[in-house]
Amino acid sequence: MMIPRRPLSRRTFLRGALGGLGVALALPPLEAMLGPRAAGAQVPAFPPFFGLFYFANGMPWHARHGGEQAAAGYPDLWTPGTTGAGFAPSPLLEPLARHRPTVVTGLEPHTEVPPAPPGQDDGHMRGFMVAMTGDRIRPEGFDHPSHTLTALSPSLDQYLARHPGFYDAPPRFRTLEVGISRARFHDYGHWNAISYNGPDSSNLPMMEPSALYDRLFAVPPDTREADRRRRVLDAVLGDANTLRTQLGATDRARLDAHLEHVRTLQRRIELASPHCEVPGRPGDDGDLLQKTRTMGELLALAVSCGLTRVFSVMLTSPATTHVFSNLGVPEDMHKICHDGRWEWVRDITRYQMECFAAFLDAFQAPQPDGTTLLDQGLVYGTSEYGEGWKHSVKELPVLMVGSAGGRLARGVHVREVDGNLCRAQLTALRALGLDDAQFGRNGAETADVLPGLLT
């Protein structure tokens, strides 16, 4: 079948941003250049894309996070003053205003917390897991002292990419995962990734623009090489099928996940897209903002030429220890949250929003047909809890940017005090065309979308 592709712009997305390297303008194939519209067809309904954008350590705290936060006396710089459309951006939302985000405030996780093993109520971990997966931490294997945990359910990106209602024919990359800051609270486990297939199976992000570039564009140079790779993978599948017969149900499921991955590799070889206007290979220099922008440009390109429709971005890793020395903050972010340094957290949060906005610029850039990628998809931004001083999970920030093919209202503020965080996730999934009756697990189940957002 033909997968509709966006007509490609001659203005590459990867302007001067890529480490000062020149952009190689390989002329795209004629059919891709012209696009269906030039051939007189109707404007194609491009299938929607989904991006998950994660930033660490929540918001600067204020009275709505709890009693002691109220006593600290700091203002709420995040929640807009009015609800509905046309709200005035709050100070922390100003950097994003150019992308007309829809903002949902007041939400929190509603999952139940099992009493054992202890520590599952730690805001970092509980809030994080619900924000990523709509489910709680997997109690089996949870170990609070070493901060070892795993997901019980797939993260939103993987849930969507595996959903029968999302992909008809998966593109070359079912999902892509990238990360920006290298700082880690620990160098193991969930501290390295926000994307999960399920228990004990995370998708490590690519940490450098050059790595993402190579994944997207380094394809076998000729069909003979592609044939060879396919033949080798056939044999790998043969080994796996032999092994499969020896395994119990749990291990078989794990192996099946592996097989699925091998088949994905095979499919990538088959779908090596000739339709991309391949830019120059980016450098990996630059600060967080620059790196985020470059990743955004590469992912926008991947979406626009049909290489993927689902991606996740970990700007900073959970409980980030990133030192934002560029903002004059001398200590790592997790530490200054604990120390109650509100002004620094405010500055960092604003900077993280600037990074998010820079990431979105390429998705907001006009295409030849006058639309933007954000008209066709949705980037969902969130964090691990409400605030990092006392790890309150109240007022967990949620942003939805894009109209998902006209199904989602842009620039609207919805406020649901003490509302179930999974309602935002269900709303996003519905906007992307899924007909799930409900979302959320283990106490967080909901069948209610947020009001006034789906059109």
Partner 1 sequence: MATDDACIDAYVRGLGRRLYRRPLTEDEVARWVAVSRDTAESDPLRGAESVLAGMLQSPAFLYRVEAGEPSPDGDGVRRYTSHEMGARLAFFLTEAGPDDALLDAADRGELLSPEALETQARRLLSSPRARAAVQSYFAQYLDLGRLEHIELDPVRFPGFSRALLRAMETEVRLLVDELVFRRGGDIRSLFSARRGYVNADLATLYGVDAPGATASAFVPVTFPEDTPRAGILTLGAFLTMNAHRIETSPTLRGKYIRERVLCQDVPPPPDNVNLDLEREEGDPPTLRERLEQHRENPACAGCHAFIDPPGFLFEHYDSMGRWRDAVDGYPVDSTGDLDGVPLDDALDLAKALSTHPRVGACMTRQVYRFAISRLDGRGDRAPLAAIEAAFAASGYDFQSLLVATVRSEGFRMLAAPEGQP
Judged by the rule CB under 8 A, the positions of this chain that interact with partner 1 are: 66-68, 118-119, 121-123, 140-141, 143-146, 183-184, 186-188, 224, 228, 231-233, 235-236, 238-240, 242-243, 246-247, 255, 258-259, 262, 321, 323, 330-332, 335, 338-340, 389-392
Asked if 347 contacts 197 with a C-beta cutoff of 8 angstroms, the reply is no
Tokens of 216: 């997207």
Residue in the block written with tokens 């957002």: 453
Minimum distance from residue 137 beta carbon to partner 1 (Å)? 12
Residue 212 parent element (H or E): helix 209-217
Angle between helices 249-270 and 223-244 (to 10 degrees): 170
In order, the DSSP letters of 193-240 are -SEEEETTEEEPPB-SHHHHHHHHH---SSHHHHHHHHHHHHHHHHHH
d(CA 118, CA 114): 8
Going by C-alpha positions, the residue among 230, 217, 216 that lies closest to residue 175 is 216
Instruction: Give residue 232's identity as a one-letter amino acid code.
Output: V
Of 309 and 322, nearer to partner 1 (C-beta) is 322
CB of 314 or CB of 432, closer to partner 1 = 314
Report the alpha-carbon distance of residue 117 to residue 142 in Å, rounded: 7
In angstroms, the CA 310 to CA 302 distance is 10
Contacts of 379 (CB under 8 A, 6+ apart): 50, 51, 52, 53, 359, 360, 363, 400, 401, 402
What secondary structure, in 3-state letters, does 287-329 show? CHHHHHHHHHHHHHHHHHCCCCCEEEEECCCCCCCCCCHHHCC
From the number of C-beta atoms within 10 Å of its C-beta (0-12, 13-18, 19+), residue 366 rates as exposed
Query: Quick one: 211 exposed, middle or buried, by C-beta within 10 A (0-12, 13-18, 19+)?
Result: middle
Q: Shortest approach of partner 1 to residue 408 CB, angstroms?
A: 33
Residue 225, classed as helix, strand or coil, is helix
Q: How far is the CB of 78 from partner 1 (least distance, A)?
A: 19
Beta bridge partners of 400: 102, 380
Are the C-beta atoms of 312 and 51 separated by less than 8 Å?
Answer: yes
State the angle between helix axes of 342-364 and 288-304 in degrees (0 to 180), rounded to the nearest 10.
30
Q: Which two tokens stand for residue 309?
A: 């429709």
CA 22: distance to chain centroid?
Answer: 29
Residue 176's H or E segment, with its range, is strand 176-179
Structure tokens at 3: 């997968």
Q: Are 236 and 262 a contacting pair, CB within 8 Å? A: yes
